A and B are shown apart, each in its own frame.
Chain A
Amino acid sequence: MKKIIELNVNGEKHEVAVAPNQTLLEVLREDLHLTGTKESCDLGSCGSCTVLMDGNAVLACMILAVDVKGKEILTIEGLAQNNELHPLQKSFHEKGAVQCGYCTSGMIMTAKAFLDKQPNPTKNEVKEAISGNLCRCTGYAKIVEAILSVKQA
C-alpha cells in the first residue's frame, strides 16, 4: 500500500506516494527524478548515495522513504545556490578531483557535511572524513586536495 508523504528535498516540498519498501534513494531517483545521487553498492558500504539529512551525511540506500517525513534532505542538485557552484563543486572541478564522476556526488555531500562541522581540517582529518566514500578512479589524492583547498579559500 502506498502512502502519501511530504518530502522536503532541497528546500522544496514534494507530495509523493511511496510504498514502505522504497528506499529514499529509489524515491529521489525514480519519483523525484533527482538522478545526481548514485546507486553503486546499494548495501551501505560505498557512500555513492550520500545525501544530507538535517545536515548530517547519510546513505539514501539504507533509509526507507517513509521514514524521512519531516526531515530536510539535501542532494547534490540542491547544493549550488543561485546558479553559483558551491565552493566544493568548484574545487572538485578545478583540481581534477573528478574522473568517472560516479562517486562525486556522494563525495561532495560527505565533504560538505564535514566542512560545515569542521571548517579548518588537517589532511588526515579530510582523509578520514571521506573514508566512507569509495572511489576506484582517483586514488583519492586530488579529492583530498580539492577539499583542503576549500578550507583555505
Chain B
Amino acid sequence: MKQSEFAIIGKPIPRIDGMIKTKGEALYTTDISLPGMLYGKMLRSPYPHAKILRIDTSKAEKIRGVKAVITGKDTPDIKYGCMMVFGFPEASDQYFLARDRVRFVGDPVCAVAATDESIATEALEQIVVEYEELPAVFSIEEATKPDAVMLHENNPGNISIGVAYKSGDMEKAFKEAYYVREDTFNTQLVQNCCMEPQVCLSNFDSSGKLTMWSSTQAPFLQKMLMSAVLDIPQENVRVIKPHMGGGFGAKAELFAVHYCAALLSRQSGRPVLICHTREEEFAASAMRHPMRIELKIGVKKDGTIIARKGTNWLDGGAYNSLGPQAAADSLMFLSLPYRQPNVDFQSIRVYTNRSPSGAMRGLTGPQVQLATDIQLDIVAEELGMDPLDIKIKNGLKAGDVTASGLKMKSGSIEECLQKIAEESEWKNKYGKLPPLRGIGVGCNSFPCGTRVLMFGPATALATALIRANIDGTVTINTGASDIGQGSDTVICLMTSEVLGIKMEDVRNMPPDTDLSPPDYYTASSRVTMMVGNAVINAATALKAKLFEAVSKQLEANAKDLEAGDSRIYVKGSPEKGVSFREAVEICQMLNGGSTITAQGNFDPDLGPFDLRTGEGDYSPSYSFGAQVAEVEIDPDTGRVKIERILRVHDCGRVISLLGAQGQLEGSVALGIGGALSEKLFFEEGRYLNPSFLDYKFPTSMEIPDMENTFVESNDPVGPFGAKEVGEGCINPVAPAILGAIYNATGLRFKELPVTPEMILKGLKKMKGEE
C-alpha cells in the first residue's frame, strides 16, 4: 500500500460515535422516552403447536394502568413475510398476533400496554387463553416425513421454499472423475445475541401518522412492511433509527415487537415502547438456520474439482421470515469460493415448530462453508494432498465466472492462501506438530451486497444526498443504518477523502425515512460497496460545483483545482486558493443564495439476475479470505484450546483500519462460539437455556490472539477499490478449527458445535476404551 495515496482512507481514525459511546451519551431506543409513554408486553404461546380456542382479556383490561389490550382479531387479516414487498408475496405466512393457531413456543397471542412494566406483566398473567394442542414437528427429518403434521395449509411436505440451479453434465462429470465422495454435514441453532434486544418505540398520532424509533438494520424495509401489514399508506409510516446495540442480521426485518407497539399505540393514543426481555430474544428473535448439507464431489487425480452436487436443507422454524433470501444465499454459497464447472444445487427450507430462523452474520455462509471446506480437506487426504494445496488449486480468482454467473472481479483465493501459508508457517507445521496439536485452514468468498430490488427498477441500488453548509461543513445523507459495525464512519471517511476536509467537518445524518434517500438495508455486506460508491459520487458532484465556482473566483480552470487540508486551490500552488468554507460561500453567491447540494447513486449494469434460481451475478463484487487456526487438545477433557487464529482478508481496500480490524476480530469471536460452544438445548419445542448464563457465547477468556492481514486487490467496482469486510470472515472460522481438530486428533467432525464431550468420546473410541 502506498502510504501517500490517500489523506485519510486506510488510517486508524477513531469512529465518529466512539466518544459519545464511551461517555454513555449515545441514545439507544430504550433511552428515549416520550410524554405519556406506555410499556408494551406480549403474551406468548407456551405450546409449540396449538389451536386457540378462546382468549379472555377482560380481567387484564380492568387492571388500573392498563391502557390497551389487543389480540389477533383486533388486527387486519394480512399475513406477513419479510419478502412480501420484493418478489415473494407467496412467502407471506405469519400473523404477528396469532388468529387461530400458534406454531412455536413464543408465538405472540396478545399484547398489552400499561403505564409501567410491572403492570403490563401483571396484566399478561390475567389473560386466559385456551389452547388445543396439535402434533408438532421439531426437526427437518420429522417435518419431511410423509405423515407429518402440516404447519401451513399451502405447503405440503412442510416445504417453505425451494430454489435450485443446475449447469453442465453431472452424470458425465462424475463418471469421468478420479475420485467421488458424498458427505453430510449438520449445523446447529445459533442466536444472534445482540447486546441490545429487539426494541421499538411507536407513536401513532391522531392524523394517522405512525412514527417508529426502531433498532433496525432496515428502516425503509420496515416502513414498507409496516404499511403492508397494517394496510396503511407508506407515506404515513416514518422510521427513525437511533444508535443501535448490534444487529448481526437479527434486526433486518419486522417482528411482533414493531407490529404490536404500533397497534397498541393506535389503540391507546399514546406512545408505546416494547423491548424484548433476554428470554424473549431467545424465544422469538431471528436465529441462524440449522442446516443439513448433503454434498457430492467429483475430482480429478490432481484434486481439480469437476463436479459438485449439493442439497441444502434449512430448518426454517415456523414461518418464512426472510427464508427465500436465506435459501437463495445458501445456493450461492455452494458456488463459492472454488471453481466447479458442473454443478447441481438445490436449497430446501423446511417448516418446523420452532421460532423462525432468519438472518445472522454470514446468512447460511458459515454453514455451507463448513461443508465445502471440510469435504475438500477429506478429498485432499484421500488423494495424499495438503488441504491448503487443494484449496489453492481450486480457488476462484479475478476473471473467473462461476457456473451460475458470479463474476469474480478482483483478488484470488490463491493470494490469500499463499500469504496465510507464509504467516502461519503452514508447511513447517501441517503434519509436523506434536500429538494433540493441529492446524487447519478455511477459505471464503463473500458478496458485497445482494441485488434486491425492493424499491423497483426506477430506484438505484444506493443513493446519497450531500449538502455543503455555509460554515464549511458538509452533511451527508444516505439512509444507511450503522448497526454498530461502523458504516457511518466509513461514509464520513469517504466524504472527507473526496472533499479534502476534516472528518469532523462531515455530518452524517442518521436514517429517517421521512428525510433520507431510500436505502435498502444494512445486510449482505452492502453498505461499503453500494452506499460507499453513492457517497463518492455525491461528494464528487458537490466538489465539481465548488470547483466551478472557485475557478471563476481564482480565474483558473476547474480542471486544475484540487481539494485538500480543508482548502480548494490550484494544483501545485496551494497558496493560490480559498478555504473550503469560503468556497461554499462563493458558490452560494454565484447561485443566487442557494444551498449547494448534490447527489450520487450506485447503479451499475450487472446483467440479469434471478433470486429464484440464483442465475446471474449476485453482487457487484466478491471478497476473498483465508483463515488458519492452531489448536491444542486436552486429551483428558476433550477441551479445545485455540492457540491462535490468523486471518488474511482481501477487502479490496481498507477504508477504516480500526473498523476493518474490528470486523475481523468480531467475526472470529462469533465463529468460535458457533464452532465450539454455542448450543440451544431444544426439547419438545422449548428452549431449555435461553439465557446468557447457560447459552455459552464466548467471554474474553475464550478468545485467542488474533492476527489480521489485509490484501488490497483494489476492486474495479468498489469505492476506492473496497470490498466487504463485515461478514465473509466468519465463514472459514469453523472449518479452520475443525480442520485443526482433525489434524491434532484424527477425529473428523461434520457437525456443529464440536463439544469437549464429543472429542473425549472420540479419543476414547480411537484408543479402544469405549
B196 touches A98 (CB 8 A): no
Cross-chain pairs A/B with CB under 8 angstroms, 28 sampled: A29-B31, A35-B27, A35-B28, A35-B30, A36-B24, A41-B691, A92-B18, A92-B22, A93-B22, A95-B658, A99-B246, A100-B243, A100-B244, A101-B17, A102-B195, A102-B246, A102-B484, A103-B195, A104-B22, A105-B24, A134-B697, A137-B246, A139-B703, A140-B703, A141-B661, A142-B661, A142-B662, A144-B700
| CB proximity of B193 to chain A, nearest CB, Å | 5
Q: Which residues of B contact A80 (CB under 8 A)?
A: 23
Q: Which residues of B contact A140 (CB under 8 A)?
A: 665, 669, 699-700, 703
Q: Which residues of B contact A137 (CB under 8 A)?
A: 195, 246, 484-485, 662, 666
A99 touches B662 (CB 8 A): yes
Q: Which residues of B contact A45 (CB under 8 A)?
A: 691-693
A41 to B695, CA, bound (A): 12
Contacts A36-B24, A92-B22 aside, 13 further interface pairs with beta carbons under 8 A come to A38-B196, A45-B692, A89-B19, A96-B14, A101-B243, A131-B700, A134-B697, A136-B193, A136-B195, A136-B666, A136-B697, A138-B669, A139-B670
Q: In the complex, which residue of chain B has the Cβ closest to the Cβ of A22?
A: B118
Given contacts A101-B245, A102-B195, A131-B700, contact A43 B24 (CB under 8 A): no
| CB proximity of B151 to chain A, nearest CB, Å | 31
Encoded as 1 (CB less than 8 Å from any B CB) or 0, chain A from 66 to 100 comes to 00000000011101100001001110111110111
Q: Which residues of B contact A138 (CB under 8 A)?
A: 662, 665-666, 669
B195 touches A127 (CB 8 A): no
B652 within 8 A of A: no
A54 within 8 A of B: no
| CB proximity of A91 to chain B, nearest CB, Å | 9
Encoded as 1 (CB less than 8 Å from any A CB) or 0, chain B from 645 to 670 comes to 00000000000001101100111111
B interface SS class: loop
Q: In the complex, which residue of chain B has the Cβ closest to the Cβ of A90?
A: B22
A21 to B665, CA, bound (A): 40
Q: Which residues of A contact B17 (CB under 8 A)?
A: 98, 101
Q: In the complex, which residue of chain B has the Cβ closest to the Cβ of A95?
A: B658
A131 touches B699 (CB 8 A): yes
Q: Which residues of A contact B26 (CB under 8 A)?
A: 101
Q: Which residues of B contact A101 (CB under 8 A)?
A: 17, 21-22, 26, 243, 245, 484
B23 touches A42 (CB 8 A): no
B700 touches A102 (CB 8 A): no
Q: Which residues of A contact B154 (CB under 8 A)?
A: none
Most buried by B among A45, A100, A134, A136: A100
Could you tell me how many residues of chain A have their Cβ less than 8 Å away from some Cβ of chain B?
Answer: 56
B residues at A contact (CB < 8 Å): 12, 14-15, 17-19, 21-28, 30-31, 118, 192-197, 243-246, 248, 277-278, 483-486, 658-659, 661-662, 665-670, 691-693, 697, 699-701, 703, 706
B706 touches A139 (CB 8 A): yes
A8 within 8 A of B: no
| CB proximity of B375 to chain A, nearest CB, Å | 28
Q: Which residues of A contact B700 (CB under 8 A)?
A: 127-128, 130-131, 133, 135, 140, 143-144
A135 to B21, CA, bound (A): 14
Partner of B485, one of A34, A40, A99: A99
A97 to B62, CA, bound (A): 49
Q: In the complex, which residue of chain A has the Cβ closest to the Cβ of B483?
A: A100
Q: Which residues of A contact B706 (CB under 8 A)?
A: 139, 141
A44 to B691, CA, bound (A): 10
A139 touches B669 (CB 8 A): yes
B662 touches A41 (CB 8 A): no
Given contacts A93-B19, A95-B658, A105-B24, contact A134 B703 (CB under 8 A): no
A38 touches B245 (CB 8 A): yes
A141 to B703, CA, bound (A): 8
Most buried by B among A44, A76, A135: A135
Partner of A100, one of B196, B278, B665, B668: B196
A interface SS class: loop
Q: Which residues of B contact A29 (CB under 8 A)?
A: 31
A102 to B244, CA, bound (A): 8
B18 touches A98 (CB 8 A): yes
B661 touches A96 (CB 8 A): yes
Q: In the complex, which residue of chain B has the Cβ closest to the Cβ of A108?
A: B22
A138 to B485, CA, bound (A): 9
Q: Which residues of B contact A39 (CB under 8 A)?
A: 30
Q: Which residues of B contact A99 (CB under 8 A)?
A: 246, 484-486, 662, 666
A46 within 8 A of B: yes
A46 touches B195 (CB 8 A): yes
Q: In the complex, which residue of chain A has the Cβ closest to the Cβ of B667?
A: A139
B692 touches A41 (CB 8 A): yes
A90 to B14, CA, bound (A): 10
B662 touches A35 (CB 8 A): no
Most buried by B among A90, A94, A96, A134: A96
A76 to B692, CA, bound (A): 23
Q: Which residues of A contact B703 (CB under 8 A)?
A: 139-141
| CB proximity of A105 to chain B, nearest CB, Å | 5
B24 touches A37 (CB 8 A): yes
Q: Which residues of B contact A40 (CB under 8 A)?
A: 195-197, 245, 278, 692
| CB proximity of A134 to chain B, nearest CB, Å | 6
| CB proximity of B376 to chain A, nearest CB, Å | 26
A36 to B245, CA, bound (A): 12
Given contacts A76-B23, A77-B24, contact A142 B658 (CB under 8 A): yes
B243 touches A35 (CB 8 A): no
A127 to B706, CA, bound (A): 14
| CB proximity of B663 to chain A, nearest CB, Å | 9
Q: Which residues of B contact A46 (CB under 8 A)?
A: 195, 692
Q: Which residues of B contact A95 (CB under 8 A)?
A: 658
| CB proximity of A130 to chain B, nearest CB, Å | 5
B665 touches A35 (CB 8 A): no
Q: Which residues of A contact B248 (CB under 8 A)?
A: 136
Partner of B278, one of A42, A94, A139: A42
| CB proximity of A31 to chain B, nearest CB, Å | 12
Q: Which residues of B contact A48 (CB under 8 A)?
A: 195
| CB proximity of A9 to chain B, nearest CB, Å | 13
A93 touches B14 (CB 8 A): yes
